Amino acid sequence: MGLKLALPAGQLARPTDELLRQAGLTVLGYTDGSRSYRPRLGGRRDVLLRVFREKDIPIQIALGNYDLGICSLAWLKELLTRYPSEAVVQLRALPLSPSSLYVAAASDSGLTSLDGLAGVPGLRLVSEQPNLTEAFALSARLPAYRVFPVSGAAEAYPPEDADLAVVAASSEEEVREQGLTPLYRLLVGSPWLIAHRRSLEGKDLSTVLDPLMALEGGRQPEDGLELPAALAAPPRPPLATERSATIVRLGLPDGHQQPSAAAILRAAGLSCQGYDEQGWVRRPRSSLEGLELKVIRPQDMPQQVALGNFDLVVSGRDCLMEHLLQFPGSPVEEVVDLGGGQFDLSAVVSEDLPVDNLAEVVELWRRQGLKVIRVASEFPAIADHYARQNHFWRYQLIPISGASEGFVPEDADVLIEGVQTGRTLAENKLKTIDRFLHSTSCLIASKRRPPPGKAELLSQLIERFRRAGSSPPAANR
C-alpha cells in the first residue's frame, strides 16, 4: 500500500499548498476551487491524498488510516490531552504562521486576568476544544465549573450564555476584535507534521517526509501547551448573570442556513438590523421591543434551548433530530416547520458499487463477507440510529466534523450526509442510495412553561413564524 497523506481544509489549505510547493511537492486539485476532496500529487501515483477538516486529521492518523498529516497544534493537543497514548508522533513544526488559543471573557466583564477568577464557583466555559478547556479548568482549580462543547463561534457566547470562551486567534488584538478580553494564552504554536507510529517504523515515507523535514524554519518546542498554576483564593460568589424575565431571546443561524433564515424573518415581518441575505453581525438588533437576537451555529441551537439560554431558535430539523436522539428527554420541540433550507439526509456510497438502493448494498456487503460496516457522519446519533434501524450486523461509527465526501470508500463504507443537488457527491464519485429524512428549517422552542412576563411575546412570535412558514421562501443549502 502506498503512502497516505491527510491535508487540511479551510484556512490552512492555501498555506499548506504553498508549503508543499516549496518542498517540491505539487498537489493538483487542492485549492483550485474544486469540490473534490481527492487531490493528486503530481508525478506520484503511489501517494494517496485526502482533504479533511483539521479536527479529524489527528484522529485519522491515530487510527492508522493515514500515515502522515498536517494540522494545527490546537487540534493535535485536543486529541492527545485526552488520549495521550495514541499512536501519533509529532515530527516537526512547519514554517507556517502560528496561532494561539486564548481563554477570554466578555469585554465588559471587568476581568483582565485569571486572578479575577480565583475562587469563583460555577463558571461556564464554552469551547470547540473541550478537552483542552477541561485541562485548563482542572489546572487552575476552578471550583464547580461547567464546560460546554460547541461546534463553532465560541466567541459569541459571553457574557449572556458563558462566562469564558476558549477561542483561536493569531494575537490578543484579534481576540479583542471579537468583543472579548484575553485573560490567558493557553496554547501557541505553528501547524505540525504528524505521523502514525507504526507507519513511521515500518513504511517508506521518504517521498513526502524527506522534503518536508528538509524545509527551513518552523522549529519550536514540541508542547506549546501552557497550563496555568492553581488559582489559590478563598471562595467567592459566582459572577452575576442577570437574565430578564421579560426578554425573549431568539437564536439565528450562520452558515448555509443564514440566507434562508433572513428571508423567513422578512416574511414574518421582523426587521433585523445586521441580519439579511447579504450578511450578518453577531448580535443583530430587532425592531420589536423585548426581542433579543444572537447568531450562533445551528448545530448548537437545540442544546442552547434545552439549557434555557434561548427561548426560540431557527435551526434545521436535522440538528433537532441529532439532539433528541442523543438526549431523548430533552425539553425541546419543533413548533413551526419554516420550510426553508431544504435538503435530504441520505445514505451515500461509492458510485463504483453496482447497487441502486440500501437493500442491494447490504446484500452486496454480505456476499463480500464484510464483517464491519464503517459508517461516517457529521450526525453521529442519526447515523447510529440509522444503522440500528436498518439492521447493520456490526458497524463502526466514525464521527466527523466536515469534508465528509472524502471518507468514502477508503475510510468508510457508507456516509450519512445532507444532500441537496448532489453536485459535490458527483465530483467525489459518490451516489445516494437512500434519502431517508427530508430536513427543512424549523422554529424550535422549549417545552417548559415560560415566565408570565414573556409568554405573550413568545406566542406572538410563534404565530408570526407560523404564518411565514405557510409560504416558505426559496433557499439553497
Domain ranges of the chain: 3-96+190-213, 99-188, 248-342+440-469, 343-439
- Classified by CATH at the fold level, domain 248-342+440-469 comes out as D-Maltodextrin-Binding Protein; domain 2 (3.40.190)
Q: Is 126 helix (H, G, I), strand (E, B) or coil?
A: strand
d(CA 244, CA 339): 31
Question: 263: which 3 cell numbers?
Answer: 428571508
Question: 360: which 3 cell numbers?
Answer: 442491494
Share of the chain above pLDDT 90, in %: 78
In CATH terms, 99-188 corresponds, of 3.40.50.300, 3.40.190.10, 3.10.50.40, 3.20.20.140, to: 3.40.190.10
The distance in angstroms from the start CA to the end CA of the chain is 38
What is the CATH superfamily name and number for domain 3-96+190-213?
A: Periplasmic binding protein-like II (3.40.190.10)
**pLDDT per position as a tens digit, 21-72:** 999 999 999 988 777 899 999 878 889 999 999 999 999 999 999 999 999 9
Average pLDDT over residues 429-455: 93
| pLDDT number for residue 271 | 87
| pLDDT number for residue 242 | 65
d(CA 311, CA 319): 16
Q: Is the predicted pLDDT of residue 474 greater than 60, yes or no?
A: no
d(CA 375, CA 86): 22
| pLDDT number for residue 328 | 95
Q: What is the spatial order of strands in the sheet that 180-189 belongs to?
A: 146-149, 124-127, 164-169, 99-106, 180-189
**pLDDT per position as a tens digit, 86-122:** 999 999 999 999 999 999 999 998 899 999 998 889 9
Query: How does DSSP assign 273-302, residue by residue?
Result: EEEETTEEEEEEEESSTTEEEEEE-GGGHH
Q: Is the predicted pLDDT of residue 473 greater than 50, yes or no?
A: no
Specify the higher pLDDT residue, 144 or 34: 144
- Classified by CATH at the fold level, domain 343-439 comes out as D-Maltodextrin-Binding Protein; domain 2 (3.40.190)
Please enumerate in sequence order all residues whose Cβ is within 8 A of that of 292, keeping only pairs 6 or more positions apart, or say none.
247, 248, 249, 250, 286
Same fold for the domain at 99-188 and the one at 248-342+440-469? yes
